[in-house]
Structure formats: structure tokens, C-alpha cells
Amino acid sequence: MLETHETLKEGTQPGGPGVDKPTLTEREFTVKERKQWQMALRRFLRHRAAVVSLVVFVLLVLFAFVLPYFWHYKYTEFVSLCTQSNGLAGPCSPSLKHPFGTDSTHDMLAVTMRGTGQSLKVAFLIAAVGTGAGALWGVVSGFFGGFVDSTLMRLADLVLTIPSLALAAALAHKGGGSLVLIGLILAGVAAPYVARVVRGVVLSLREREFIEAARALGASNTRIMFRHLLPNTIPVLLVNATLLIAQGILAETALSYVGFGIQSPDTSLGVLISTNQGAVENQPWLFYFPGVFIILIALSVNFIGDGLRDALDPRQTRERK
Amino acid sequence: MLVFVIRRVLISIPVLIASTMLTFVIVKLSGDPLTYLKTRQSTVSKAEKQAFINQEAHRLWLDRSWPTQYWHWISNILLHWNWGPPVTGHDNVASDVFTAFGITARLVLVSIAIALILAVITGVISAVKQYSLTDYTTTLLGFIFLSMPTFWFAILLKEFGLKINQWTGSHFFGTIGDRSIPITDHSFGGSLKDIIGHMILPTIVLGLVGYAAWSRFTRASMLEVLNSDYVRLARSKGLSPRTVMIRHALRTALIPLTTVTALDVAALLGGAIVTENVFQWRGMGTLFLTALRAVDFNVMLGWLLVTATIVIAFNLIADILYGVLDPRIRHA
Amino acid sequence: MRFHNGNALLAGVAALALGLTACSSSGNGGGSKSGSNSAGPQPNPAVTAGTHGTGGFAKCATEPTTCNSGDTKPGGTISYVLEKTIPGWNQVYTVSNVFEVAEVEDGIFPGAYLAGSDLKPFLNTDLMVSADSTQAGDVQTIVYKIKPEAVWNDGQPINFDDFKYLKDVSDGTTCPKCGAASSSGYSQITSMEGSDGGKTVTVKMKPFADWQSMFGALLPAHIAQQHGGTDTAANLNTSFQWFDKNVPTWSGGPMVITKYTKDTSIEEAPNPKWYGKTKSSLDKLIFRIITDQTQEPIALKNKEVQAIYPQPNADLVSQVNGIQNVQSYLGKGLVWEHFDFNEKNAFLKDQKLRVAIFTAISRKDIISRTIGQFVPGAAPLGNHIYVPGQPGYQDNVTSTGQGSGDVTKAKQMLTDAGYTGVGTTLKTADGKAVAFRCTYSAGNTNRQTECQEVQNTLKQLGITVTLKTTTDLSELGTGNFDMIVFAWVGTPFVVAGAQQIYELKGGADYGFNNDPAAEKLINDAAGTTDLPKVQSLLNQADKLIVADGYSLPLYQKPTFLAAYNNIVNLRDNATSSGPPVNVQDWGLKAS
């Protein structure tokens, strides 16, 4: 109850999380003030799915970036093959030696680790660049309005007029399937999307009392934008950033499927399931393992985002009991 | 209000013009249309081959500067409704694009309609009954849908349709195209069954992603509204929960959803690329892929022009709806 | 396609080969996947080698032209899959000279000689009474006798005018702007005469070994007359383009096109005016376009199509073999994979180094990681000009030790040639460390494996190999490669192909191999119409090319035909005509 009360207090403070601390400390009587991040953490920890997802996600990161140093097959290494029922050499099914089996040349676990790592890199790139640029874009646009708003939003419209998959495919067609290029293209297409949503929020916030109050107190434009408006868009940004990580991985997968994604010798989970789509009946491990890893990443990231939203959104008062 | 709408429409025109320039540059960057001739050997002499390549380059205006080519392209469309020749073959690019658009529109609109209805229903229920079993289930399902690669799911779904066909001994589900070929039953009922049998699987695939995203969005914005002061005020005034929900909460919560949906039209057209390829529909998606692989630039340009126009139109609709639904915006 | 098209590819090789290989790199996502999976269960590989199912394909390996024969019952529909869309309808025109168009038009365009399932040309006895070639000194005379009853479907006779029209658009001088796919043969014609009411055609020309490749797909001159004309270059071009623009409603073959749905399907029905011995028993023949190869087995399983002819990979083969009532056949293809060196490279210009490298490479290992996973008994290819299944093929490579994987021998060769650091860091006599790139098509996992195999092997010799990808193989033309792996597409007519690939001025000698002795042998073969002599000359040339260490053939790519086993008289045809070459015979088995 106490925490709820506190939350309410904080949440109803004009300016939300952006408000200056000192004034607050004096006012409370018996309870020691908790820092904002502590409360957020407490709330986050109460979201069980998010916590589990965070653990899963950390494990996935370790799987992708640390485990390769300890696993005795490298993703480039040729492994010996197994004899098929028809007498020909072919992929091995999962065993102790190859927990994920093999494809026609490599250990599938090593390849999956590599693919997971590459997919994570692309996803982070898209989420970080896309959300960062989009937030800035949307806040500036929404805050200033008028000519600035028109120009920036028409620019966003411009990029948004092209389906991202088509745009990325067209640009990647000649680009040779480099990971960074594809990540940046997809981030570039995501940014205006984020910008529009953020602007929508800013537009309705702009007319609220706490902004008026801040203005009346003589706060500069920059201060209002970054101390008051931007923090209030964080919930929206988080929802979008998490969606972007998941969407990033899926967009890269779709690109690989249509043949314009990351190209061999480089790999990604998308490349793996695209090349192995025909194996679904006869060598299911080649299709399902990478697919499950894509779902695991996207799913855990989405739940983490959900947990963060619960934790960071100060206006949301209904709490998990 | 009318002024607001007219202003928005007028603003869209320069966006469309700028968009054509952007798409022109992108298409130019996407490759050399004559690669197919250059990298293939024929049993004619080298000089004859080069002469033919030059002849083709001239026919397609590839030997002119980019601004000249752009002007040639856009002015021919505006003045003569001539969308330019395809790199190979003799099809009319405009009619190709519009035919394909008709096929895709059917797929996308049905998918949007179904996905949107389901998304609003489950999103609202999830928000109202936050942390209930229903909420957890729909959230989990929504998240799983959001996390599945489209074509990965499509392949599994196809296998599923195939299994059902085998169990029932029918040919209800089609896996390629939007109609059976040859069409054996020309009656109305037969045609309807054939169309639906070919439509169900791709609609599910395309609608699923939209559904998942929109139900999440509905839930999020609904929660926000339910926790807002004015809804609390409305409740405390003693209004019935139903009135509060529909007149106050839902209306406000759906404002951002209209924007998101309108903006997602582009994403759905993109999603159609994968879906149509898996199910071999000859809509916008496969048209684009075929064109891109062959660097068939006039087809790509036409495709992007039509897509851009649609997306701009939907943005406009989103803007206007936003204004209609949220009076505060109108004066902005 | 009939022959002339074959020719286009033949040079083959390069032609479609490049197109084809480039496509497979970016084509349909997973389509180009390596044989990363095994073939499905095959009860007795020793006996059924490459064949699966209980139908008539079982004998195709030994009786390619008569297997799967049977009586047909009247009626029925067959859907046969095409993997690409139709760019245009005139298969004689460069742009539309693609495999899919040829398949559709096998039953439409009449031709003097057709390409058989045994990879040999045969006289089309529906159309022709005879075609006799004689050579006197520098003049070859061919007399074509056309059947009196042979007519187009509007009743006009097929005659000299049609032969003349094809020659005029193809020879490169009468209509330089026409852009015909192939001028070979036609450009050497000195005179053409019609007699016997146009039913006898006498052609005089400079001797041309592949003369049977000419007049493989005839266009109706009388229709050309109505749509532009046949007299001047401009009129020829107009009518030639008209043929490309318009879906043929005319036909001189057993079928006629009744409906075309863009990018989706072509429907054909029997031609009522067909003059040949066998009339098609089918109600309808449908060519269904599926541009994503991985969707083909599913459509086949769901009975939406009845026959597919994709480029096989392990997944596809095992998927198809799991479908009830479907039989399949892995045939001998004309496409073959190989490594080439760029002899302009500072290190690779040394023939001794090249031979040592080829000796160290194990083709067996490469095969076991690629096509060996679904082709029973896949063996290394032993010739640069012929492939197994073609008359004239003999293994000229294996006995030299190239491709054997003998690293010890390779090391010895390098030491003998004055290289130092063998096995550690290989250096030339003047102290430069040997290193180069291996280029392959991006996204093509088979080729990636092949280059990686080279990388691993050459490490043992002390050579550093870096992998590089290409999107469209354009590096071949620019010379920006050191070692490259790609495929050639052969045809039944090998001489022109050999000239292009192995002669410095041929246009496709991308690695700049310069071997005047081999060139002379190939040119001699080109001017000979005596088949055994051609084969002997070309094999002598091949031995010289092997000794050059310029190119290492890896393996012959298989073809893959799969169909429901109630379809009879359908059989593999690896030539550019494809299986529909005998489309009038196809039908549903009489029970």
C-alpha cells in the first residue's frame, strides 16, 4: 500500500519522472525516499515473465558470444558426416557429439551460436539507431509544431511511403548483404515510424498543465523537450524499442527469405531457416533449432519490454499484487 | 475542419513528388538492368552482342543522365499515362501493377479487417482484466505471434493445410495461387469455395502479425486511458461502467490505434511480399520480387509509385481521423 | 528449345550458365541451398540409382529415350511447373531465349532437328522427310525435305519461306537489329534455294560441324508477312518483334496455346491441324509458373501440379521422394561445376603452381559435401568439353592426378618447381608469399563449401586463400578474380562452346588461358562435319587444356524430374528443349 501511495505521489507530480528531487525529500515525513530507479527495479522484479525473460535473454547473449569460445567446433570448421539410410554421406541428426546435429558441412550448434550472435547484432543496431533517431525526431517535431513539424513529418512520411521490406531489399540487392548495411537500412526505415508515434504523444502532452508550468517557470525549449517531454514518451519508446528488436530480427529473416538479406559466408538465424526451409520434414533439426532461437529472442525481448513498461511508466498506477 | 483536410491534402502532394524522386534514386541504385545480357554469352560475335546491349540501353533510356531519365519517366506518366517499357517483354507496366494491386488489396484488406476486429476485442479485454488469466493467455499468444518469422509460420501452416486435405481427402486448401488452374467448377458456389480455400492460409499469415501488434497496442493505450484522471473522474461521477468504457475510454484509446493502423499499411504491403511468395500469389509482392531480381526498373518504379500513393493516402486518413477524434489536434 | 537455342546456351555454356548461376545465388532464398541434407530413403540404391518410385522412370538411366513408355487413355489434364515467368514469346529473340519459353513452345514451334533425351540431335520425322548433308572441299550442302502434309494451324504449308525467314533474322547481317539469340551456322550460309513447291530447301554454307543445330524453331513467314513483312531489315525487325510481343495463337506443332494468365499459367490444347503421327491424348496441358522452388514439392504433394523439373538439392529430392504415387529421376545434366584460374594473376600464371594446386584438391571430398548427398554414385567429371551421357565423353582428368587430393604429390611438385616454405608459408623462388582469393556466388552454399574446401586444403601447402563473394559473376568479365567457381551449361553441340571458352578470342576465356595448340585442334573440329573426327580432335584439345592446369571440372549437375506415376511418355531431357520436347506423347496411363 505504501509503495502504491508513493507511486501515486510521484506519478501525479507535474513533470513526472523529470521533476527535481530536492523538493520532494523535504516533504515526506516518515518514509525514506526511494530513488526512482529503485522503485522501477522493484516493479520490474515483480513482473515474473519479464524477469524470467531477462534471464533467458542473458543466457542467449552468453550462448551467442561466450559459448563459442568453449565449444570445440567452430562455425567455419568442416565436420565429418554421417551415413544416411540410402548409403550416402549426409547431415548427422542430434547426438551428444553434435547436440543440434549437423548440416552438410558444419556443426549445427556452432552455426546456431554464430547465427544468434549475428541476429542479435542486427537487432540491437536497428533498435538503438531506430529508436534513438526516432525519439529525437518526434519530440522536436511535436514540440515546435508549425513549419518544423511539417517539414520533419513530411520527411518521415516520405520514408514511410516505401514498405521497409521493399526498401531494404532494393538497397541490399547490390550491397552484397553486409550485416551493418542491412541493420542501418532497417533502422533508417524504423526511425520515422517511431518519430510519428512519439510526436503523437508529444502533441497531446504539449498542451498539458505541467508543460505550461515549466514554461511559466522560464524553462528553456531544450529543457522542456529533454527533461519533461522526452521522459514522458519513454513508455511509448520502450514499447517501440522492444517491438523493434523483435521486428528487426524478423525483418532480417524476411529479407533472407526473399534472397536479399545477409549473404554467406556470413550467417544469421534468418539465413539458417531460409536455407533449411526444405528440410522441415526430413532434417527437422535444421529448421526448428534456428527458428526456435528466433522466437526465443523475440519473445524474451518483448516480455522484457513489457516489464520495463510496467516499471517505468509513472502514470500507470494499477500494480501487480 | 474542411480547411484542415484541404491543407493536409495539399501538403501530401509535395511528399508524393519527393517520394517519386527518392524511389527513382533507390531503383537506380538497385542494380544494372542489362546485367542479364552482359553476363550471358550468346553465339553471336562479341561486337554483335555489344551492339545489342547498346541498342537495349538506348531503348530503355539508360544511356541518358539520371535527371533526364527521371523527367522522361515522370512526364510520360503524367502526360501520356505511359509507365515505360519493362526491361524484358512487352507488358504494359501500369496494367501489370494495377492488376497485381487488385489481388493484393483483396488479401490485405481482408487481413486488416479480421486482425483489427480481433485485436480491439482482445486488447480491450486484456486491459480491463489486467493480470487475469485471459490477459496472460492473450498476451502470451500475442507475443508468440509477434515473435514468429512470417515465412517460418507460413511453411508450418501450409503443412497443416496439406495434412487437413489429406485427412479429409479433399482439395479444399490451395497452396499456390489465388485460384485453381484449371478452374473445374464454374458455378458460384464452386468458385466461392475455390477462392476461400486459396485465401484462408495467406490471410491468416498476413493478418497474424498485424493482429499481434495491434492487440498489444490497444491494450497499452487502453490501460493508459483507464488509469487517467478523467476516466476516474467519469467513474466517480457515477456514470455506468459501460458508458465510461465506450464513450470515454475506448474512444480515446483508439485514437493512436488509427494512426498505427494506417501507418502499418506500408508494413502489410511489405508483409505481402513474403506471404505472396510463399503462396505464389501474383500480387504486388511477387511482382516486386520478380522485378527486383531482374532490375526491371520501370516495374519497380511503378510499384513504388502506387505503393507510395496508397501509403500517403492512408497517412492522410490517419491525420484526418486523428483530428476528428481528438479535437485538441485540430488546432495544432 | 531446339537447336539454335541450344547453340545460344552452348557456347554455352557461358550463356545460360552465367545467367543460371547468378540467379541461383540470389534467386529464391533457399533455392540455391547446398545439398545440406541427404536424400530420402531409397530401398536399393545399387539398382535404382537416382530413380525413386515404382513407375517407368526406373529404366531411364539405361534407356533414356524409351523409358516410362505406355499407352495413353483419352482426356485428362497435366500441370507441369515452370520456374520462371515468360519474358516474351519469340524464343529466337535473345531476350526471350530462355529455358521456360522453349519448354512452353516445344509443342508450338516446328523444327528440323530436335534434341533427344540421350543428348543427341534427332531428325523430327513428323516435319521432315529427310535432311542430308554433304561436304565437298570448303562447301557443305544440306538438303532439307519437308513433309508435304506439314502445315501451320491456319492451313498454310510449312515451307522454304519459313526456313528463309529464320535464316534472315538470325544471320546477323540481313537484320542486324533483330537481336537473334544465335547466329552460329546461319552466318556461314552462302545460298539458300527452295524447290518442289517450297518443300525442298537446299542450303550451301561453309562447313559447320554443328549444322544440326540450325532450323530448330521455325517461325511462320506468312504471319510475319502480315505483321511487318519479311523483305527489308526494318520490316524483318518489326515482324520479329511482333512474334515476341504476341502470345502465339499460331502453331506448327502438336499443341496450340489457348490461354495465358500472366506470370501464372499457360494453357495448351491439342492442335487440330497437327499433321504428325501421334496426336495428344490430353484435354489440356498446363504450364504452371511457380517462382519459388521450395513451394514445388508442396504443390506436387497437394496435387495442384503433376510434374516438376527443378534444379535439385538434397532437401527437394528427399521431400519429393516422400510423396505417394510420385516417381522421380535424377538424370545426367549438361550443367557442370568447375574451378577456373585467372592466369593474369602474378602467382597463378605459373603452370606448375596451378597443376600442384589442382592435384592437392580432393574432388571426392567436395562431392561428398555437395551433390554426393543426394546423387547416388556421383563421380568427378573428367572432361572440359563433354559430359557423361554425351557421345564423345572420356575421362581425361583423373589419370593426371588433378583433383585427387594427393597433397604429398602436390608438395613434391612445388618443391621441384623451386618453391620454398612448402607446408608452412609457400614462397616463390624470389621470396613472395603465395596468396589469392577464391570467388563464389553469394548465397550459394554449395560453392561456399567448394571454396572453403580449397581454403582448407591449400593451407596444407602453405597457401593462404581468402574467400570472396560475387553477386552476378560480373567479375568474370572484368577479370577481378584469382580463382573462381561457377558452372557452364553444355548443349548437344559442343564445338562452338569449346571455341568460346578455350580460345583466347572466344569471349568466354575469362582466365586468359592461351594454348595455341588446343585452339588449333578446336578450330579444326569446327570445320569438320565428320562426327567421330570431331570427337577425337576435341578430346585431344581437352588433354592439352588439362595439362595447362587452367580449369578443374568438379562434377556434372544432375537434372531432376518428378511426376505422378500415372503419367506416361514423360521423360527427362537435359537439353535446352527440356522434357516437353515430345509433348504430344504425354498422357495419362491407360489402365
Instruction: Output the pLDDT for position B42.
Output: 61
Domains annotated for chain C, with CATH where assigned, are 336-557 (3.10.105.10)
Instruction: Output the pLDDT for position B67.
Output: 95
pLDDT at B137 over 80: yes
Going A309 to A314 to A316 to A317, the CA torsion angle's sign is positive
CA separation for the pair B44, C169 (Å, rounded) = 12
Residues of B in contact with A295 (CB under 8 A): 144, 147-148
Determine the distance in angstroms separating the CA of A277 from the nearest CA of chain C, rounded to an integer: 7
Which secondary structure element, helix H or strand E, spans residue C589, and what is its range?
strand C587-589
Instruction: Give the residue-averaged pLDDT of C95-110.
Output: 93
Model confidence pLDDT, tens digit, residues B178-201: 888 888 888 898 899 999 999 999
Q: Cβ of B71: how many Cβ atoms within 10 Å?
A: 12
Instruction: Output the pLDDT for position C442.
Output: 77
Residue labelled with grid coordinates 562434377: C555
Of A145, A277, A295, the CB nearest to B147: A295
Q: C440: left (phi > 0), else alpha (psi -120 to 50), else beta? A: beta
Residue labelled with grid coordinates 592439352: C544
Instruction: Give the residue-averaged pLDDT of C377-390.
Output: 92
Scanning every residue of chain A, which has its alpha carbon at the shortest distance from the alpha carbon of C294? A278
Q: C263: left (phi > 0), else alpha (psi -120 to 50), else beta? A: left
Other chains touching C, judged by 3 or more CB pairs under 8 Å: A, B
Model confidence pLDDT, tens digit, residues C168-183: 999 889 998 898 888 8
Domain that holds residue B253: 93-330
Residues of A in contact with C35 (CB under 8 A): 104
Chain A contact for C115, CB < 8 A? no
Listed by start position, the domains of chain A span: 2-33, 48-82+111-316
Domain membership of residue B119 (yes or no) is yes
Interface probe with A: pick from B7, B136, B151, B293, most Cβ of A within 10 Å: B151
Scanning every residue of chain B, which has its alpha carbon at the shortest distance from the alpha carbon of C299? B175
pLDDT at A148 over 70: yes
Scanning every residue of chain C, which has its alpha carbon at the shortest distance from the alpha carbon of B294? C23
Q: Could you write out the DSSP letters of every residue in C553-584?
A: EEEEEEEEEEEETTEES-----STT-GGGGGG
Determine the distance in angstroms separating the CA of A38 from the nearest CA of chain B, rounded to an integer: 22
Instruction: Give the residue-averaged pLDDT of C472-486.
Output: 86
Of B144, B149, B288, the CB nearest to A291: B149
Lowest mean pLDDT across B5-9, B17-21, C197-201, C305-309: B5-9
Cβ of C29 and A279 within 8 Å? no
Chain C, residues 145-174, CB within 8 A of chain A, namely none
Instruction: Output the pLDDT for position A316.
Output: 45
Cβ of A177 and C443 within 8 Å? yes
Given CATH 1.10.3720.10, say whether it is the number of domain A48-82+111-316. Answer: yes
Of A164, A200, A239, the CB nearest to B267: A164
Per-residue confidence band for C24, with pLDDT thresholds at 50, 70 and 90: very low
pLDDT at C308 over 50: yes
Residues of B in contact with C507 (CB under 8 A): 41, 46, 49
Pairing outcome for strands C307-308 and C483-489: unpaired
pLDDT at C317 over 70: yes
pLDDT at A26 over 50: no
pLDDT at C328 over 60: yes
Per-residue confidence band for A256, with pLDDT thresholds at 50, 70 and 90: confident
Instruction: Output the pLDDT for position A176.
Output: 66
Instruction: Give the residue-averaged pLDDT of A220-242.
Output: 81
Instruction: Output the pLDDT for position B41.
Output: 58
Instruction: Output the pLDDT for position B263.
Output: 72
Cell of A225: 523537450
CA-closest candidate to residue C127, choices C590, C468, C584: C584
Which runs of E-coded beta strand occur in C457-550?
A: 464-470, 483-489
Cβ of A176 and C471 within 8 Å? yes
Chain C contact for A76, CB < 8 A? yes
Instruction: Output the pLDDT for position A193.
Output: 83
Per-residue confidence band for B327, with pLDDT thresholds at 50, 70 and 90: low
Residues of B in contact with A320 (CB under 8 A): 131
Average pLDDT, chain A: 80
Residues of B in contact with C299 (CB under 8 A): 175-176, 280
Instruction: Give the residue-averaged pLDDT of C247-270.
Output: 96
With pLDDT > 90 as the criterion, what percentage of chain B qualifies? 38
Instruction: Give the residue-averaged pLDDT of B285-310.
Output: 91
Cell of A6: 508513493
CATH no. for residue B165?
1.10.3720.10
A and B: number of Cβ contacts within 8 A:
177
Per-residue confidence band for B139, with pLDDT thresholds at 50, 70 and 90: confident
Cβ of C267 and B55 within 8 Å? no
Please report the ipTM that was assigned to this predicted complex.
Answer: 0.87
Determine the distance in angstroms separating the CA of B98 from the nearest CA of chain C, rounded to an integer: 13
Determine the distance in angstroms separating the CA of A91 from the nearest CA of chain C, rounded to an integer: 6
More confident residue, A147 or A160: A147
pLDDT at C166 over 80: yes
Model confidence pLDDT, tens digit, residues B88-118: 888 899 999 999 999 999 999 999 999 999 9
Instruction: Output the pLDDT for position A318.
Output: 39
Cβ of C39 and A88 within 8 Å? yes
Domain membership of residue B181 (yes or no) is yes
Residues of C in contact with B51 (CB under 8 A): 176
Instruction: Give the residue-averaged pLDDT of C495-508.
Output: 82
What percent of the residues of chain C are helix, what percent strand, and what percent coil, each to the nearest 5?
Answer: 30, 25, 45
Cβ atoms of B104 and B272 closer than 8 Å? yes
CA separation for the pair B211, A197 (Å, rounded) = 18
Lowest mean pLDDT across B245-254, C362-371, C403-412: B245-254
pLDDT at C271 over 70: yes
Cβ atoms of A279 and C315 closer than 8 Å? yes
In chain B, the number of structural domains is: 1
Query: Within chain B, where are the H helices?
Result: 2-29, 35-38, 46-59, 66-80, 93-128, 133-146, 150-168, 188-226, 229-236, 241-243, 251-279, 284-293, 297-325, 327-330
CA separation for the pair A117, A125 (Å, rounded) = 12
pLDDT at B121 over 60: yes
Cβ of A76 and C372 within 8 Å? no
More confident residue, C383 or A230: C383
pLDDT at B56 over 60: yes
Label residues C173-188 b or e (16+ Cβ within 10 Å = b): ebbeebbbbbbbbbbb
Instruction: Give the residue-averaged pLDDT of A52-74.
Output: 94
CA separation for the pair B40, B34 (Å, rounded) = 10
Determine the distance in angstroms separating the CA of A51 from the nearest CA of chain B, rounded to an integer: 15
Instruction: Give the residue-averaged pLDDT of C511-539.
Output: 91
pLDDT at B169 over 90: no
More confident residue, A10 or A165: A165
More confident residue, A264 or C349: C349
Per-residue confidence band for B63, with pLDDT thresholds at 50, 70 and 90: very high
